[in-house]
């Protein structure tokens, strides 16, 4: 299994539609469609998802205490969120273009829920708090570990998405081969012709 950076999903919110680009190049005065982040329904999806993710994070942080002044709950939240976001984006990207239901899922679950769930602002505050309490080395290790392991978690989420995609694809291929073998490799005999599927 190899990693190809071109397999990573792109942020379609900053993309300009091809028809808009061609209109501008041809001098047409058509109006550009609203970008996804300016559409009220999408803002609502992000807001609802963000409220859910923030509520879950708040509940976890309040119910699971820090260990020796280390905010391990926030550390775990950021790693789980990074993993889930990598998996979500890879899975959605493999199912087709970022529009319609896929785009709404990305905005609700990715930008909203996981954006509200993860918290790099709290990471920053926790790091400064550790420094001010005389734990500078711990603060640096905590901040770097969150960033490094967060990137690794995202990468692993993407790999899991790729692995599950391959398994689904392989299962489909095995089913096709089984169908052909059930027919004795004779192909499909319709209209007097023989064709292999």
For residue 81, say whether it is annotated as part of any ligand binding site: no
Residues 6+ apart with CB under 8 A from 127: 139, 140, 142, 143
Check: CB of residue 91 under 8 Å from CB of residue 167.
no
Annotated ligand binding at 115? The verdict is yes
Alpha carbon separation from 90 to 10, 39, 167 (Å, rounded): 10, 24, 15
Angstrom distances, CA of residue 190 to CA of 125, 185, 187: 70, 15, 9
- Binding residues are 115, 118
Residue list for the binding site for Na(+): 115, 118
């Amino acid at each position: 299994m190899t990693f190809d950076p071109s397999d990573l999903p792109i942020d379609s919110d900053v993309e300009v539609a091809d028809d808009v680009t061609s209109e501008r190049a041809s001098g047409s005065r058509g109006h550009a469609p609203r970008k996804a982040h300016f559409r009220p329904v999408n803002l609502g999806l992000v807001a609802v998802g963000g409220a859910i993710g923030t509520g879950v994070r708040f509940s976890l942080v309040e119910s699971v205490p820090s260990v020796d002044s280390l905010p391990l709950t926030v550390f775990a939240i950021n790693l789980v969120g990074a993993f889930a976001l990598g998996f979500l984006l890879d899975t959605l990207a493999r199912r087709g273009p970022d529009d319609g239901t896929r785009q709404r899922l990305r905005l609700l679950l990715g930008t909203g829920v996981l954006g509200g769930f993860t918290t790099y602002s709290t990471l920053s505050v926790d790091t400064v708090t550790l420094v001010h309490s005389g734990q500078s080395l711990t603060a640096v290790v905590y901040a770097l570990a969150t960033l490094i392991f967060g990137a690794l978690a995202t990468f692993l989420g993407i790999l899991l998405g790729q692995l599950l995609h391959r398994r689904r694809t392989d299962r489909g291929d095995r089913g096709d081969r089984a169908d052909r073998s059930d027919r004795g490799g004779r192909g499909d005999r319709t209209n007097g012709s023989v064709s292999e599927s």
